[in-house]
Amino acid sequence: MTVQNRKIGFIGAGKMGSALMQGIIKAGIVKPENLGASDVYEPFLNELNSQLGINVSTDNAVIAQASDILVLAVKPQILGSVLEDLKPYINADKLIISIAAGVPLATYENALPEGTRVVRVMPNIAATVSEAASGISPGKNATSEDLKTALEIFSAVGTAVQVPESLMDAVTGLSGSGPAFIFPVIEAMADGAVLEGMDRKSALTLAAQTVLGAAKMALETGLHPGELKDMVTSPAGTTIQGVRILEEAGIRAAFMNAVIKASERSKELGKK
Ligand SMILES: NC(=O)C1=CN([C@@H]2O[C@H](COP(=O)(O)OP(=O)(O)OC[C@H]3O[C@@H](n4cnc5c(N)ncnc54)[C@H](OP(=O)(O)O)[C@@H]3O)[C@@H](O)[C@H]2O)C=CC1
Ligand SMILES: O=C(O)[C@@H]1CCC=N1
């Protein structure tokens, strides 16, 4: 069964919930009238209703009851109380997809009625432009059809891969948080060119396209990033000078540590 004729509801229509809704509508896998969202902030819901044509409510119960697939997109810190509120409206006919950082599948399975089908997903904000990277782990009651459904939804907004749940915190630290590690790289590289005299707009365009092009080469050639770096660094040329500066600044350790720290925070959030 495809998601085409199923009703998908979002509990929480903040940054990630609305990014996913935009991406899903853009991909055309669900009609706006089959999408719904609830949130505590009404003006934002009204904006989503007028921009995307989706159904909205400030009452989570309304969206939960109307949905076949319920995407939980609230902060991990308030998830416990949201699950308590939702419990009366959940049964084994509904598929629950949660994108909350850190929270293990067992938390949902224990808090919701026996047999509830849950899939845990960690997407990223690039769903807005159909380029999300998502990790997906099905829970103990999820069927193979449920996994297919989750893969269909998250592949429609980018790339989605199944991962064992034990790696979901690593996915969170890497691709969930990762866009925020790369945006400053784009900004800082552009700053360098601005310092050299380039206008800000051209500098940002060239910096962002450089990151996009490098990522595309890594994905499409399948070559090791070290080999790709070697293709740019001419002997006694410009690039190797820049590479030395980055190595002196400890860029590799900094990025590794950022991913590790974010993964650790994801683990911590799951324990609360
Ligand atoms: N942002 C990202 O890049 C990513 C986020 N995630 C996950 O997505 C989830 C949402 O994150 P994000 O979108 O950034 O957070 P946001 O704060 O932007 O969105 C959460 C929304 O839920 C609303 N809300 C608060 N309480 C309730 C409630 N009881 N019922 C319904 N809605 C409520 C919030 O309103 P208010 O602000 O008024 O409290 C807010 O609009 C988190 O669990 C996060 O871990 C996963 C991957 C990437
Ligand atoms: O920062 C966070 O906690 C969320 C999860 C991954 C991206 N944003």
Q: State how far the Cα of 156 lies from the Cα of 218, in Å rounded to an integer.
A: 21
Residues 198 and 153 in one domain: no
Residues 85 and 199 in one domain: no
* CATH code of the domain covering residue 246: 1.10.3730.10
Residues 148 and 20 in one domain: yes
The pTM is what? 0.97
Q: Taking a C-beta distance cutoff of 8 angstroms, is the pair 97, 71 a contact?
A: yes
CA atoms within 13 A on the CB side of 170: 7
Residue 173 lies in a domain: no
Residues 20 and 153 in one domain: yes
Question: Which residue has the CA at smallest separation from atom 48 of ligand 1?
Answer: 124
Q: Which of 133, 165, 197 is the last residue of a domain?
A: 165
Domain ranges, residue 18: 8-165
Cα-based distances in Å from 79 to 128, 177, 198, 263? 24, 19, 46, 19
Residues 116 and 207 in one domain: no
Per-residue pLDDT at 179: 98
Residues 58 and 138 in one domain: yes
Q: Which residues have CB under 8 Å from 255's CB, separation 6+? A: 181
When divided into structural domains, the chain yields a total of 2
Residues 31 and 155 in one domain: yes
Q: How far is the CA of 72 from the centre of ligand 1 (A)?
A: 9
* CATH code of the domain covering residue 155: 3.40.50.720
Give the model confidence (pLDDT) of 167-192 as tens digits. 999 999 999 999 999 999 999 999 99
Give the model confidence (pLDDT) of 27-52 as tens digits. 999 999 999 999 999 998 999 999 99
Q: Which of 98, 133, 165 is the last residue of a domain?
A: 165
Per-residue pLDDT at 58: 97
Give the model confidence (pLDDT) of 86-143 as tens digits. 999 999 999 999 999 999 999 999 999 999 999 999 999 999 999 999 999 999 999 9
Residue 3 lies in a domain: no
172: nearest Cα among 261, 251, 257: 261
Joined tokens for residue 19:
């990014």
Joined tokens for residue 215:
């990522």
Question: What sign for the dihedral angle of Cα 42, 81, 172, 37?
Answer: negative
Ligand 1 site, residue 14, Cβ cutoff 6 A: yes
Length reported for the chain = 272
Per-residue pLDDT at 1: 63
Return the axis-axis angle of helices 200-221 and 179-195, rounded to nearest 10°.
130
Q: Taking a C-beta distance cutoff of 8 angstroms, is the pair 47, 13 a contact?
A: no
Per-residue pLDDT at 4: 83
Ligand 2 site, residue 175, Cβ cutoff 6 A: no
Residues 161 and 240 in one domain: no
Whether 161 has a pLDDT exceeding 70, the answer reads: yes
Give the model confidence (pLDDT) of 186-238 as tens digits. 999 999 999 999 999 999 999 999 999 999 999 999 999 999 999 999 999 99
Residues 209 and 130 in one domain: no
Ligand 2 site, residue 57, Cβ cutoff 6 A: no
Q: What is the ipTM of this complex?
A: 0.99
The pick from 10, 11, 16, 67 for probing ligand 1's pocket by mutation, whose C-beta has the most ligand atoms within 8 angstroms, reads 16
Residue 217 lies in a domain: yes
Joined tokens for residue 255:
């990025």
Residues 53 and 188 in one domain: no
Question: Which residue has the CA at smallest separation from atom 3 of ligand 2?
Answer: 101
Q: Which of 165, 200, 218 is the last residue of a domain?
A: 165
Residue 95 bridge partners (DSSP):
69, 117
Cα-based distances in Å from 199 to 182, 202, 208? 21, 6, 14
Residues 230 and 266 in one domain: yes
DSSP 70: E
Residue 196 lies in a domain: yes
Residue 1 lies in a domain: no
Per-residue pLDDT at 2: 78
Residues 144 and 17 in one domain: yes
Whether 249 has a pLDDT exceeding 70, the answer reads: yes
